[in-house]
Structure 1
């Protein structure tokens, strides 16, 4: 396993990390992701550790907290060998204090997560969404207190816009608060919006990308093809409306390129899609999820080899989309590119 710095922080993370959204199986969305209980989760943790995967990511909203509970039980007896990442901010109930990142909510969320995970600290605690109703200084002061109390080691965010992330970083620098080390983002061959603004910001400010859904919300598994119906067992029948959108023709174009490279390399389509991500700027780690040990074993095969420059170029071309204003001039026009060269 390759280990990388999480942004410019001192924390080293594996290039591949395990996303525990498949643990627990509660609710219409997360039951479609996976239903692993403690025994199956423990076997997948065993397999992950055998391959050097030491970071396990979850969130309070995953299966109404059951994901954290199952992960904590699966890690019992080997907490000192792993890093745990979890998230809070999204609604977990209907009450006025069941959403957001106010001081009271953050303190309660961390304490609840520590209890469910059966641990005394969280290695990486991330704000799952931007909360416009809470002043950023209140958020950062609370995170600072949690770090000083030893309950949280590093902090990050997820699903932030560029200005939201930059506002937090600027306020942290101004007041001497812990900086966000990570940004958990959607990034895949099926969706490269991360590159327009968030990637240049991450490079400039030293924020490491923790990539979620590297297979495009289940679309890059190799089961979807032009002119063929969606497989009956695809989770997309139940979850497509929750995930990032993609036009059919764009997906088919990406799949054509993936199939071509798969034939050349002898690798599975998901392995190629993940390997492509591992070479992108600012990517610290890619979260791989799995409903079972077979899927996990396949995804673990995404490392230990490299695509050729020609294969990368063809995947780039097939997955390219035109950036919106104000980003497209900097990617397509020489004068703009000269002043501000693109990161990729």
Structure 2
């Protein structure tokens, strides 16, 4: 993998990272979150929960942690955890810029985040991230690039990102929306002084929405490390929300729907890291069973029937309420 630190954070049995989107702020769109977090969404409660998850993840071999400026206080919570454990130096940290958190610690805000891929936002948020994570930051990604994002054509921004890369920071991007494949291929074409700018790509990919698969394989072949997010489709593939076919295959394996859903992703040879978005230690433990799931061809064929039209998938995702 070109991202050397990330290579050290994965092993044959643990290509799973921990994403803190669901626990860095009181409101998020994951199904079942009311039951997962309960009524206490105070800063202190979520800080404690985040640290508990990080402790459990580290103890079970997880070495990649994913945060973002828009994930409430996720960077702060992670920074506090790292400072309290100075002996831990093998955790790889990735964050993202491009969305600003605007919910003011509320679950019913009119707008929870605002997107802006301009250079001024990059400079402001890079300074904010540096103030919290400093030299513990390994990877900085543009958050949710779409084909019309100005981040794909802004030469001044590209120059600043290349400058950061020259200083040792890995530069990447994430994608969202039904045109992820188009965005990935456009980003692969971005160069500075003839050299590719981006070294990692993070995209939504799961048994319901895997239209980005061919483009992600191309990114891998081009030397980028592929990080998969939303492998559980924001809770649609977990427990009682899971489709009957997934529940049936999970019953056959003796493991949870989540482990099967993540195992389906891990079978892709181009996948570098799959993010767990667990909100509880029990969920994390179940997610980490994914590498042990052995899916046979017949089970894979049945799971393939769950595919949704990308536009329908993203339209439904956009309708999920903030819990």
Give, in angstroms, the shift of residue 186 of structure 1.
0.9
TM-score (norm 1): 0.71
- Per-residue CA deviations over 1:146-196 (Å, capped at 9, x if unaligned) read 12334x2x1111116444433433332x6144532221111111222223x
Q: 1:217 aligns with which of 197, 221, 234?
A: 234
Alpha carbons of structure 1 residues 28 and 52: separation in structure 2 relative to 1, 3 Å? closer
User: Using the alignment, how far apart are the partners of 1:91 and 1:18 within structure 2?
Assistant: 21
**2:158 corresponds to which residue?**
140
**1:199 corresponds to which residue?**
216
Give, in angstroms, the shift of residue 132 of structure 1.
3.4
Alpha carbons of structure 1 residues 309 and 133: separation in structure 2 relative to 1, 3 Å? closer
Give unpaired runs (5+ residues) of structure 1.
Answer: 226-254, 325-344
Alpha carbons of structure 1 residues 269 and 132: separation in structure 2 relative to 1, 3 Å? closer
User: Using the alignment, how far apart are the partners of 1:88 and 1:273 within structure 2?
Assistant: 28
Q: 2:306 aligns with which of 312, 319, 322?
A: 319
Greater relative contact order (CA < 8 Å, ≥ 6 in sequence): 2
User: Contact 1:271 / 1:299 at 8 angstroms: preserved in 2?
Assistant: yes
Given the alignment of the two structures, is residue 125 of structure 1 paired with residue 140 of structure 2, yes or no? yes
Give, in angstroms, the shift of residue 294 of structure 1.
1.4
User: Contact 1:290 / 1:296 at 8 angstroms: preserved in 2?
Assistant: yes
Given the alignment of the two structures, is residue 69 of structure 1 paired with residue 76 of structure 2, yes or no? yes
Q: 2:174 aligns with which of 154, 158, 161?
A: 158
User: Contact 1:157 / 1:184 at 8 angstroms: preserved in 2?
Assistant: yes
User: Using the alignment, how far apart are the partners of 2:256 and 2:231 within structure 1?
Assistant: 14
User: Using the alignment, how far apart are the partners of 2:280 and 2:187 within structure 1?
Assistant: 38
**1:23 corresponds to which residue?**
23
- Per-residue CA deviations over 1:286-320 (Å, capped at 9, x if unaligned) read 1001221111111112123422233223222x224
User: Using the alignment, how far apart are the partners of 2:248 and 2:186 within structure 1?
Assistant: 43
Count of aligned residue pairs for this structure pair:
278
**1:270 corresponds to which residue?**
258
Give, in angstroms, the shift of residue 92 of structure 1.
4.2
TM-score (norm 2): 0.76
Worse-superposed segment, 79-88 or 30-39:
30-39
User: Using the alignment, how far apart are the partners of 1:295 and 1:164 within structure 2?
Assistant: 31
User: Using the alignment, how far apart are the partners of 1:297 and 1:279 within structure 2?
Assistant: 19
Give unpaired runs (5+ residues) of structure 2.
Answer: 104-113, 312-323
SS in 2 for 1:128: strand
Q: CA RMSD in A?
A: 2.8
Q: How does 1:64-103 map to 2 (within 5 A)?
A: 66-76=73-83, 77-78=85-86, 79-92=88-101, 99-103=115-119
Give, in angstroms, the shift of residue 198 of structure 1.
2.2
Decide which structure has the larger Cα Rg and report it: 1
**2:108 corresponds to which residue?**
none
SS in 2 for 1:312: helix
